[in-house]
Structure 1
Amino acid sequence: MRKFYSQLFQILDSKQKRQARFSVFLILIGGIIDVIGLSIVLPVLAVANDPDLINSNSFIFGVKTALGLSDSGFLQLFFLSLVLVFVVRAWVYVAIKVSLSRFSYGISANKSVELLVNFFNSELLENKGKQTSDIVRDIVINTQHFSSFVIMPFLLVVSEFVIITILLTALLFYDPLLVGLVFLVVFPTASVFYFLSKRKVTNIGNSRNIVHSKVTDIVLRGVAGLVEMKLFREENSLLSYLEKEQRKLVDLNVKKAVLVDLFPKLMEVTAVLGIVAVFFYATFIDTSNNLLILLGVFGAASYRIIPSINKIVANLLFLREYSFLFDIISKADGQKRVNHSVAAKDTISFNKAIQFHEVEFYFDKSSDFKTVLPELEIKKGSVFGVVGESGSGKTTLINLLLGFYYPKSGKVAIDGKELSIDNRRSWWDQIGFVRQDVFIINESLKKNVCFGIKDSDIDMEKLRSSCEQAQLNSLIERFPNGLDESLGENGNKLSGGQKQRVAIARSLYKNSEILVFDEATSGLDSKTEAEIFATLMQLNDQGLTIVLITHNPANIKYCDHVLELADGKIKVIDTKENG
């Protein structure tokens, strides 16, 4: 338990730690009210067993006399007070539950945002090889699980432990031997069960997390590859794979359910043994005690203690099962969001050329494949083509140019100024990017073109001009809602060429100085491709620098300079002048 406490407080920020301490305080208040409620049961049982106590007990008689009540009237008030106390107890319980839940799920929401901030702040290479399904699962699902199966169980364990401690302490004043009996009957069973189950539950949790990731990946694969699944008759194969993983989940869930449900049944048997023990205690050991009172006290204590023990063990098992979440949530380390209203630490101006000086890049030092660019220049206002087979290093070159990768040696410079982490935000502000699978959000055409701009800040005149330059006017006229027409998920209302034009318009609205065109027309028919290039050439005539990445040699006719890559090395640099 101390380990969980330490791990949890390492994850929480200072505000959340204060909230956690306040939550523990509320738990303590709830525990005291719980005990007060149960403590009233004792005199009620005593009076119910012996009504003469109303007059023989000096305290009870004094209260009755002060209120001026008859015996029957006092007894009615007594029982009414008991009901009232339990009503207040229930109301306080609900209020505390709301407060604890708000605290717990507030952390879930906070950590979900922090994990996405962490993802945005990470370098491109850090996420290379990561599964999309794992990233989505951690941000969306595991943060919720952290609240439901780590924070809430931890608070419930603390809550029930406080209640049991206060209750047993109060019972000590009534009958220490009875408390010892309760302790000996209940706690050994709970301790042994938890000790035998904790490792099994931890393994179930780790295994279930792995299977959940596979299931999510299977579903995403089926949704994203619907056309291919149908054309290649792969639906049944994928369904079989899903059924296989779901069967694993069923087996893991059954094992967990049996463990969780088994313990309350064991505690029921333990409670019966406790009643038998009380009977023998009152009959053969301490005959001076009233059996009915002792059974009533044991029953009242068991009524509260045994459910508490059940909750403690069940929630400790939850903590064990989901202990792997600490490693995931710890990545939400409170990184700050990028404040775009604050100027970048350093700026870059693009007026002359982009230069690569003795650049060398590799993913793994021991790898034979390295991208080597000794000297390379992309002049402002030119159309610079990069051609090569798949895997030749074209994408690496673009990521170096964009500042997503940093050279292992040499440098990338803009107008002689080295591109770095301090000035790349300024550089990104000048770059438009169009790729084959254009990023389209499930929003209006207007929001897709003015991506990242608040509605209140959109310049409608500039938007219309950008759409006109990208030759989107005919599309806008066909849309019933014009610029406000939703483009659907992944732009499913658009053709491939229309998606490219939306991306071009987006770059123009951004006032991009350079447009990177990364294999963007490879999926288009020749007519649409020619129309897109005609638009690009018009934009180039207006001064826009274009970097064209292609594996199609036919497209080099549009370029002023052409760089051919092979195995990460420059094979040839050609220009229109030298043919």
Structure 2
Amino acid sequence: MTKILSLLKFYSKDINKIYILVFIVVLLESLTVFLTYPLFQFLENKNEVININIYVQYFLNLIEKNLSLNLILLFIFLTAFLKFIFSTILQKYNSKFIYNYEQFLSNKIYSYYLNRKVIDIKKKNSSFILSEAITQSSNISEYGIKNLINTFADFFLVLGVIFVWILVKPIFTIQILAFVIIFFFLIYFLTRKKLKKLTKIKNVVDARRLNFINQTFGLFTDIKLYSLDEKYKYIFDKINKKYSDILANQFFFSTFPKYIVEFIFISLFLLIIFFVNFLISNNSNILPTLALFGAGAFKIIPSISRMQYNLLNIKFAIQILEKIDFFKKKNYRTLVNTKAINKDKFNYNKLIHFNKVDFRYSKKHKIILKKIDLKLLMGDVVGITGDSGSGKSTLVTLLAGFLTPTNGKIEADKKNIQNNLYGWQKQISYIPQNIFLIDGTIDDNLKIFNDIDFKKFSPMHNNLVDNLLKGLDKNQKIWENGSNLSGGQIQRIAIARAIYNNSKILILDETTNAIDIENEKIIFENLKKYITNEMLIVVISHNKNTLGYCDKIFKLQQKKLNRIK
């Protein structure tokens, strides 16, 4: 519960306004219930005042002496009208707050992952990130924040009605409350374990559904080729069936206490009639008493049912919180307010130096790179080769600043790149083997990182890009993940996008492996013609033909880097 409450601190001013509105509405609700007693007493016996609590008695005496029935009714009407006005304001404000908070949580979770290191995101399944940023943030708001506010309102309404009952019939009210409280907590403790178990399973199955959908459309071509449609439908149906069964059970165990509570209150109401009518000799106040307890029960039966349901939903939201990485951090309240980033420009014009760099992912992992001593000059086209798993991609990931050396340092013009990663990474364009294209036109993909004005670029820039995109229309619509383009076309678009980013370092990580020899030759000839001394190009490749365009070639072998050209 404290975790859900701590979330409200982000919007403390707004939640305080809701609390004030709730207090006003509860006060008016309680007053409405209270007024039923004098009203029905007036109707039952205008001349006799029943001997009850001294403060209530004083109020009733005032009514009998100074007010008519019409004025009592008017007073009740005004109370109900004010309650309607404030309830409407509360509902509007409450709904706006809840769904604004959902947006807030989704943004915070999204920002949290955006602030993580590249290696952290690669370890995380994208389905879980999607689920946390969209589905689970919605669940936290819907099941946690919304139900917490509603529970707060219902709890104080129940207290208000009970206060009125105690004011009028203290001993009888305390007897009823003792029974109801014992019964309520008995039901709550009997159902919570079952619901907790169902919630854990639900979270796992929900993530499996998202993951399976991603897998399905990632393998769509293979599924069609091998006629696996029915098999995948069957598997997805099984996952969905399990999910729907969990939801059905969760709904049943969440709502069935409502009917038990209603049954108990009806039984108690009948008991009140029996008690007043048969066990009290002077039963002249039976109608006001029944009206008072009936009106109060009418208000609090739904409230108690909702509280039971809301508390279970809050438990569900807490379990979601405990699963989300963002909320596992002890300092998550301040984590999203990222540290001030050094946004100074990084002036790099000449030399990059890997100065005795070692790297391993953690102490549990083996060393991947050892004592790397590498100098890269502006204007060079440098090739890095080596066996699969030798550490080639790790080397350029270190160069890009996505990883930090375990020992040693990487310097650009004698400045440690780790001291200003923001400025350093603005100098780099990195094109991986698996390229992502957004849904849109080729032109949209060229402008994805910058709003490009092509006229501002030099003729050399534009000629290079025109050669890269030869045979492609910039207005051509691209399907999801570039499925209507060849691998070579996708890679050419990615290189063109990097050229327009106007970076000083271009990293090609197995980027040209899907491009035919003739087009690859055109790309490298144009790149070398364009860069002169304006750009450093680092090429990761196994392909000897590709490496042939490089001025220098280094081979990674047994954790060390050796120059072979």
- TM-score, normalization by structure 2: 0.88
Residues paired across the two proteins, number: 548
User: Which residue number corresponds to residue 574 of structure 1?
Assistant: 564
User: Which residue number corresponds to residue 362 of structure 1?
Assistant: 360
Displacement of 1:424 in angstroms is 1.8
User: Which residue number corresponds to residue 272 of structure 1?
Assistant: 266
Which string of whole-angstrom CA distances, capped at 9 and with x for unpartnered residues, describes residues 511-544 of structure 1?
Answer: 2111111111223344444443344333344743
User: Which residue number corresponds to residue 397 of structure 2?
Assistant: 399
Give the 3 Å change call, closer, same or farther, for CA 388–229 of structure 1 in structure 2. Answer: farther
Which string of whole-angstrom CA distances, capped at 9 and with x for unpartnered residues, describes residues 127-180 of structure 1?
Answer: 342111111111111111111111111111111111111111122121113322
Q: Matched residues in 2 for 1:476 and 1:188: separation?
A: 78
* Structure 1 unaligned blocks of 5 or more: 66-73
- Does 2:321 align with 1:318? no
Q: Matched residues in 2 for 1:199 and 1:337: separation?
A: 36
Query: Which letter does structure 2 place at the counterpart of 1:407?
Result: P
Of 489, 492, 509, 1:498 maps to 489
Of 295, 314, 329, 1:300 maps to 295
Q: Matched residues in 2 for 1:361 and 1:439: separation?
A: 28
- Does 2:534 align with 1:536? no
Which string of whole-angstrom CA distances, capped at 9 and with x for unpartnered residues, describes residues 369-406 of structure 1?
Answer: 52225322222111111122321211101111111111
* Structure 2 unaligned blocks of 5 or more: 50-59
Give the 3 Å change call, closer, same or farther, for CA 231–510 of structure 1 in structure 2. Answer: same
Of 109, 116, 125, 2:119 maps to 125
Q: Matched residues in 2 for 1:488 and 1:85: separation?
A: 61
What is the DSSP-based 3-state SS (H/G/I as helix, E as strand, rest coil) of the residue aligned with 1:522? helix
Q: Matched residues in 1 for 2:464 and 2:526: separation?
A: 8
Of 510, 513, 531, 1:522 maps to 513
Q: Matched residues in 2 for 1:398 and 1:502: separation?
A: 21
Q: Is the 8 A contact 1:206 1:322 kept in 2?
A: no
Of 504, 510, 531, 1:513 maps to 504
User: Which residue number corresponds to residue 62 of structure 2?
Assistant: 59
Q: Is the 8 A contact 2:162 2:173 kept in 1?
A: yes
Which string of whole-angstrom CA distances, capped at 9 and with x for unpartnered residues, describes residues 322-367 of structure 1?
Answer: 2123333535544467799x8625x533322222122111124343
- Does 2:141 align with 1:147? yes
Query: Which letter does structure 1 place at the counterpart of 2:19?
Result: V
Q: Is the 8 A contact 2:26 2:157 kept in 1?
A: yes
Is 153-162 or 77-86 further displaced after alignment? 77-86
Query: Which letter does structure 2 place at the counterpart of 1:217?
Result: N
Q: Is the 8 A contact 1:114 1:335 kept in 2?
A: no
Q: Matched residues in 1 for 2:109 and 2:343: separation?
A: 23
Query: Which letter does structure 1 place at the counterpart of 2:150?
Result: L
Which string of whole-angstrom CA distances, capped at 9 and with x for unpartnered residues, describes residues 72-120 of structure 1?
Answer: xx54x65465455434423321211222222232222122212222222
User: Which residue number corresponds to residue 41 of structure 2?
Assistant: 46
Q: Matched residues in 2 for 1:473 and 1:362: separation?
A: 37
Q: Matched residues in 1 for 2:540 and 2:472: separation?
A: 32
What aligned pairs does 1:28-427 form with structure 2 within 5 A after superposition? 28-50=23-45, 59-60=62-63, 62-64=65-67, 74-75=69-70, 78-79=72-73, 82-83=76-77, 85-289=79-283, 290-327=285-322, 328=324, 330=327, 333-335=333-335, 344-345=343-344, 347-368=345-366, 370-420=368-418, 422-427=419-424
Q: Is the 8 A contact 2:342 2:420 kept in 1?
A: no
What is the DSSP-based 3-state SS (H/G/I as helix, E as strand, rest coil) of the residue aligned with 1:319? helix
What is the DSSP-based 3-state SS (H/G/I as helix, E as strand, rest coil) of the residue aligned with 1:558? coil
Q: Is the 8 A contact 2:378 2:533 kept in 1?
A: no
Q: Matched residues in 2 for 1:460 and 1:556: separation?
A: 31
Q: Is the 8 A contact 1:393 1:568 kept in 2?
A: yes
Q: Is the 8 A contact 2:508 2:537 kept in 1?
A: yes
- TM-score, normalization by structure 1: 0.86
Q: Matched residues in 2 for 1:337 and 1:293: separation?
A: 58
Query: Which letter does structure 1 place at the counterpart of 2:420?
Result: N
Give the 3 Å change call, closer, same or farther, for CA 11–231 of structure 1 in structure 2. Answer: same
Give the 3 Å change call, closer, same or farther, for CA 132–443 of structure 1 in structure 2. Answer: same
User: Which residue number corresponds to residue 69 of structure 1?
Assistant: none
What is the DSSP-based 3-state SS (H/G/I as helix, E as strand, rest coil) of the residue aligned with 1:272? helix
Query: Which letter does structure 1 place at the counterpart of 2:203?
Result: N
Q: Matched residues in 2 for 1:252 and 1:336: separation?
A: 33
Q: Matched residues in 2 for 1:312 and 1:147: separation?
A: 17
Q: Is the 8 A contact 1:116 1:139 kept in 2?
A: yes
Q: Is the 8 A contact 2:504 2:535 kept in 1?
A: yes
Displacement of 1:304 in angstroms is 0.9
Q: Matched residues in 1 for 2:223 and 2:337: separation?
A: 39
Displacement of 1:58 in angstroms is 5.4
Q: Matched residues in 1 for 2:454 and 2:42: separation?
A: 82
Q: Is the 8 A contact 1:204 1:256 kept in 2?
A: yes
Query: Which letter does structure 2 place at the counterpart of 1:190?
Result: F
Give the 3 Å change call, closer, same or farther, for CA 547–142 of structure 1 in structure 2. Answer: same
Q: Matched residues in 2 for 1:426 and 1:476: separation?
A: 36
Which string of whole-angstrom CA distances, capped at 9 and with x for unpartnered residues, describes residues 169-205 of structure 1?
Answer: 1221211133224313432221110111222222222
**What RMSD in Å do the two structures reach over aligned CA positions?**
2.9
Q: Is the 8 A contact 2:38 2:288 kept in 1?
A: no
Is 81-90 or 261-270 further displaced after alignment? 81-90
Q: Is the 8 A contact 1:411 1:418 kept in 2?
A: yes
Q: Is the 8 A contact 1:393 1:567 kept in 2?
A: no
Query: Which letter does structure 1 place at the counterpart of 2:374?
Result: L
Q: Matched residues in 1 for 2:5 and 2:316: separation?
A: 19
Q: Is the 8 A contact 1:387 1:562 kept in 2?
A: yes
What is the DSSP-based 3-state SS (H/G/I as helix, E as strand, rest coil) of the residue aligned with 1:324? helix
